[in-house]
Amino acid sequence: MSGRQKGMVQIWDVVGFDEVADLQKMPKEVITTMKTYCESGTFQRGQEAVAGDASIAMFGNTNQPIDVMVQTGHLFAPMPDTIRDDMAFIDRLHFYVPGWEIPQMRNELFTDHYGFVVDYLAEALREMRKHNFTEIIDRYFSMGTHLNARDRKAVRKTVSGLMKILHPHGDVTQEELSEILELALEGRRRVKEQLKKMGSFEYYQTSFSYTLQDTGEERFVGVPEQGGRDLISADPLSPGTVYTAGVTSDGTVGLYRMEVSVSSGTGKLKMAGGISGAMKESVQRAFSYVQAKKAELGIARDLETSDMHVEVIDLLGNRVEAEVGVALFVAAYSALRKTPVSPALLVLGDMSVQGNIKPLRSLTEPLQVAKDNGAKRSLIPIENKRNFLDVSADIMEHVDPIFYGDPKTAAIKVLGIPLPLLNP
């Protein structure tokens, strides 16, 4: 700014970020500026608004096999924190190129025919930027209802770009255009599916489709690696393991697997390093309640001679602040009694140090995430019963509610064993 020099997006046609995972120190202000630029093509530079024409591309490597990534997380996990944690920025990405589908360069892939000199090809592609094929879809097709305005913009831009490469004269058959459109829909849906996996409810409409205008036939476009949800196992769990979730004020859901184990000790609580903030406080409150009620719960002797180790695994990788006190109570009692909870169960709700139950802000979002990830039943605070009216019939059909009013009732209902009463 001091030198009054133009930035790269004002000079070049494309700006690429190579090895994007290494950009951990990228300031948040840069992402904020890029977010505005990706939406409108302009950004604020000092007191003036500046426009640019450059596309932005990000290149990087995945750290795990794709089947493992889609099973345990999402495809944006290798991104630097400032990008991965900004779902609004990710939503502005038009297309996710599945690099694992692109063959690595081999000798047999090189042609022995004539080709364009790179300088000429670059100039030809630059000239094609003056052309626009974003409306060509409307010749034969209309897009489905699950595509919002940003989705439609992304798909149209991708179709236009592919048209310039494959059919620069603009002459394309319905069948050829259908193939291009399906590729554009797949690439955009791949972005939305990851946002959905991160737990944000606003991105849950991902059934992308298009309709043939001449026949009225609707065709749905999937994502090849879309499987791999079912993060909530339908198999029996080991004692001390429960699934739990929390929801923020903006509807973003955090999904967790809590694992509690016991070892010889003196009744101390030991938490893994990843537990912090509101989650750490809720775990400590619940443990204080367990200690205060250990005689009533019939676990005094076990608790006094054991230390309790707590680990929480973030299944969606979106680091949502979740209060998980009831899950800790159920998991702790399960571990001490060596009795597993019901399979495919999600435990919702928090508690005070005196055992009073704190309801969730909303039920719809966590139950939708629970359904999509394999839950068959959910433990729900009785105070949230009125929120159940907002839950869709599809969710109610797949996830059975189990209501509770206090921690002991919650444990009784999902462990299948009665809690001993305090002797008079």
Is residue 52 over pLDDT 70? yes
SS3 assignment for the chain: CCCCCCCHHHHCCEEEECCHHHCCCCCHHHHHHHHHHHHHCEEEECCEEEECCCEEEECCCCCCCHHHHHHHCCCCCCCCHHHHCCHHHHCCCCCCCCHHHCCCCCHHHCCCCCCCCHHHHHHHHHHHCCCCCCCHHHHCEEECCCCCHHHHHHHHHHHHHHHHHHCCCCCCCHHHHHHHHHHHHHHHHHHHHHHHHCCEHHHCCCCCEEEECCCCCEEECCCCCCCCCCCCCCCCCCCCEEEEEEECCCCEEEEEEEEEEEEECCCCEEECCCCCHHHHHHHHHHHHHHHHCCCCCCCHHHHHCEEEEEEEEECCCCCCCCCCHHHHHHHHHHHHHCCCCCCCEEECCEECCCCCEECCCCCHHHHHHHHHCCCCEEEEEHHHHHHHHHCCHHHHHHCEEEEECCHHHHHHHHHCCCCCCCCC
CA separation (Å) from 307 to 260, 262, 283, 301? Answer: 10, 6, 14, 12
Cα–Cα distance for residue pair 154/175, rounded to 1 Å: 21
* Per-chain mean pLDDT for the chain: 89
Burial 279-288 (b: 16+ CB within 10 A, else e): beebbbbbbb
- pLDDT for 249 equals 81
Q: What is the pLDDT of residues 300-350, one digit of tens each?
A: 999 999 999 999 998 887 788 899 999 999 999 999 989 999 999 999 999
The pLDDT > 90 percentage for the chain reads 55
What's the pLDDT score for residue 1? 67
Answer left, alpha or beta for residue 207, where phi above 0 means left and psi between -120 and 50 means alpha.
beta
Confidence of residue 128 (pLDDT cuts 50, 70, 90): very high
Q: What is the pLDDT of residue 227?
A: 53
Q: Confidence band (pLDDT; 50, 70, 90) for 228?
A: very low
Task: Give the per-residue pLDDT at 283.
Answer: 95
pLDDT higher than 70, residue 180: yes
pLDDT attached to residue 70:
73
- Name the residue with higher pLDDT: 138 or 252: 138
> Rounded to 5 degrees, what angle do the CA atoms 262, 265, 269 make?
60
pLDDT band at 26 (very low <50, low <70, confident <90, very high): confident
Q: What is the mean pLDDT of residues 84-111?
A: 91
The pLDDT-based confidence of 423 (bands split at 50, 70, 90) is: very low
* Per-residue pLDDT at 210 exceeds 70: yes
Highest mean pLDDT: which of 4-18, 152-166, 230-244, 385-399? 152-166
pLDDT band at 369 (very low <50, low <70, confident <90, very high): confident
Q: What is the mean pLDDT of residues 116-144?
A: 94
Task: Say if residue 418's pLDDT is above 80.
Answer: no
29 or 91, which is more confident?
91
pLDDT(420) > 60: no
Q: Label residue 390 exposed, middle or buried (CB < 10 Å: 0-12, 13-18, 19+).
A: exposed
Check: CB of residue 208 under 8 Å from CB of residue 220: yes
Model's pTM, two decimal places? Answer: 0.68
What average pLDDT does this structure show over 60-66?
A: 84
- Which has more confidence, 229 or 286? 286
Q: Which residues is 48 bridged to in the sheet? A: 45
pLDDT tens-digit series, residues 236-293: 889 999 999 998 887 888 999 999 999 999 999 999 877 889 999 999 999 999 999 9
The predicted-structure confidence for 170-179, as pLDDT tens digits, reads as follows 999 999 999 9
Strand partners, 403: 380
Task: Choose the weakest-confidence range: 7-11, 61-65, 136-140, 227-231.
Answer: 227-231
